[in-house]
Structure formats: structure tokens, C-alpha cells
Structure 1
Amino acid sequence: MIVEVVGGTDEVPEVQVVDVDDLTRLHLAVGAVTDEEADQALQAAGLGRLVDGDNGVLDVAALRAAAEPKAGAADWGGQFDAMVASAAEKGWTADDGASLRVHVEPAASA
């Protein structure tokens, strides 16, 4: 699953959750926007925040709410829960487990 922050209409960054059925990976993809713009867009969308140019934090409940309606797999909820549990086991949680720490990568459209 990928959370993308990319330039939108009128140069206002847009946040979208894509590849929702691939729960073997999770990262934040940032397009041609500044770190400040990416952080503001993530917070405005309620999905999380940018820690720095290399790391972000995504809210688990908000991520699930944004991704689940787009999911195609019948057992998606269980797979999502397993992804979150795996991240917790690896120490990739924040905010007492309510958020996941993720790496930032360039967006494909960047």
C-alpha cells in the first residue's frame, strides 16, 4: 500500500491511498512538493504527518478508513491487521501503536 502526496489542481498537493491490496509493503510517496506542503497535506487529510524528508507517520485508523473501501480482497481486513501487527513486532509504531512509521520515497509521478 502506498500513500501518495502529489501536486494536485492549482498546485495544491493531494493525498491518495493506492495499491491498497498490496499489504506486503507500506510507504509514503512524495511527488514534486516541499516537505512542508507534504506535511500539511497529510495532516489536512487526517492520514498522518511527515517527520522529515525520509520518514513519516501514518494513522492506522485513518489509513484503514481510506483504503478499505478500495480493497478487492475478501479477507483484506485480516491482511491489514496482520500488516499492522507485523509492523508493531518490528518496532515501526508510534503514538502508542495508533500510528505506523513509514519511509518516504519519490512518487512515480515525481
Structure 2
Amino acid sequence: MIVEVVTGADERPEARVVDVDDLGRLHLALGQVTDEEAAEVLEGAGLGRFQDSETAVLDVAALRAAAEQQATASDWPARWDEMVGQARSKGWLSEDGATLQVHVESAAGA
């Protein structure tokens, strides 16, 4: 699963959740936007916030809500729970389970 912040309609940055059935990976991908634009769009969409230029913190409930409505795999809820459990075991999930730390990457070509 990828959370993208890319230039959308009218050249305005927008956030979207893509590849929702691929729960073996999760990151924030940035298109041709500045870190400031990406931070504003991510927060405005309610999906999370930047921690620094290499790391973002995503809201688990908002991410699930955005992704689940697009999911096509029948076992998606179980695989989501596995992904969150894996994140917890690696220390990427907050103590309260509300946020998930992810790496920020370039979405070149997005």
C-alpha cells in the first residue's frame, strides 16, 4: 500500500491511497511537491503528518478507512491486521496503536 502526495487536478497537490491490496509494504510517496506542500496536503486529508523529510506518521484509522473501501481481496481485513502487527513488532506503531511510522520516498513518474 502506498500513500501518495502528487500533483493532481489543476496542478494542486492531492493525497491518495493506492495499491491497497498490497499489504506487504507501506510508505509515503511524494511526487513533484515540496515537503511543505506534502505536509499540508497529508494533514488536510487527515491521513497523517511529516515527522521529518524521511519519515511520516500516518493515522491508522484514517488509512484503514481510505484503503478498505478500495480493497478487493476477501482476506484484506486479516492481512491488514497482520500488517499492523508486523509494524508493532518492529516498533513502527505508536503505543496506543493510533499512528504508524513510515518511510518517505520519491514517487517519480506518479
Measured against the shorter chain, the TM-score band is over 0.9
| Residues in 1 aligned to 2:49 and 2:16: alpha-carbon distance in whole angstroms | 14
2:31 maps to 31
Number of matched pairs: 110
Q: Percent identity?
A: 65
Alignment of 1:10-89 (within 5 A): 10-89=10-89
Quick check: 1:2–1:18 contact (8 Å CA) kept in 2? yes
| Residues in 1 aligned to 2:69 and 2:95: alpha-carbon distance in whole angstroms | 25
Q: Summarize deviations over 1:47-91 as a string: whole Å, max 9, x none.
A: 001112111011110000000011111110110011001101110
| Residues in 2 aligned to 1:50 and 1:95: alpha-carbon distance in whole angstroms | 18
Read off the aligned partner of 1:50 and give its amino acid letter.
F
Q: Summarize deviations over 1:7-46 as a string: whole Å, max 9, x none.
A: 1122211111001000000000001101110011001100
Runs of 5+ consecutive residues of structure 1 not aligned to the other structure:
none
Structure whose residues are more often helix by fraction: 1
Report the secondary structure of 1:21's partner residue.
Answer: coil
RMSD: 1.2
Read off the aligned partner of 1:4 and give its amino acid letter.
E
